[in-house]
Amino acid sequence: MAVHEFELFHGIALTKLVRGDRPISLRMIETRPGEAWSAYTINNEVELFLKHSTKPGKLRREKGGLAWNFVVGTDQLRQIRESARPVYMALVCGDQKLKTSSMQVCLIDPDQLKQLVDLSAPSQQTVRIKFLPGKSLRVSSARVDEFIVARNRFEEWQVPGS
């Protein structure tokens, strides 16, 4: 059975999530057959949307800096808007080469997610993650200039219900 790209990159985040010392329950929410499934319910308390990008762009002004763009589609906006649980988003900043130290997982909390994207918008939206060596991640969108997310935030996340 072939391994799909989304399975590989979701595995990065899910492995980090379940490696903690507290047990968690994890359930994939089937979105639409034929699409890369991206929503998970954790501990029946929160939903986690996973997205990945494997095409970092080099930043011109910051030496060694990279940026990833993530498109949040209209179906995902609707799912987030209609969720009965708080929604977190984990953005897996990947690379086709896999063996690179610049790959990251950026965790966006529900309040930040509402700042970054307009959940009632009729069109897709883009979230941008900037990686600068030795610094926290920079997150931006058309709605937000930039805010900072610690690079270890996902690993340190105290998952509700754990």
pLDDT in tens, 99-131: 666 789 999 999 999 999 999 999 999 999 999
Question: Buried b vs exposed e over 23-59: b needs ≥16 C-beta within 10 Å?
Answer: eeeeeeeeeeeeeebbbbbbbeebbbbbbbbbebeee
Q: Residue 43 — pLDDT band, cuts 50, 70, 90? A: very high
21 backbone dihedrals φ, ψ, rounded to 5° = -85, -5
* Residue 54 contacts residue 63 (beta carbons within 8 Å): no
What does the pLDDT read at residue 26? 82
Task: Give the model's confidence band at 2: pLDDT under 50 very low, under 70 low, under 90 confident, else very high.
Answer: confident
**List of residues 6+ apart from 156 with CB closer than 8 A:** 150
Residue 64: pLDDT band with limits 50, 70, 90: confident
Domain boundaries, the chain: 5-155
Number of H helices, E strands in the chain: 4, 10
Q: Are 50 and 26 in contact (CB under 8 A)?
A: no
136, 107 Cβ separation under 8 angstroms? no
Nearest CA to 118 out of 61, 157, 62, 80 is that of: 80
Distances (CA, A) of 112 to 54, 78, 98, 131: 23, 17, 28, 18
Strand order in the sheet with 104-108: 26-29, 39-42, 46-53, 87-93, 104-108
- Share the mean pLDDT of the chain: 87
CATH number of 5-155: 3.40.1350
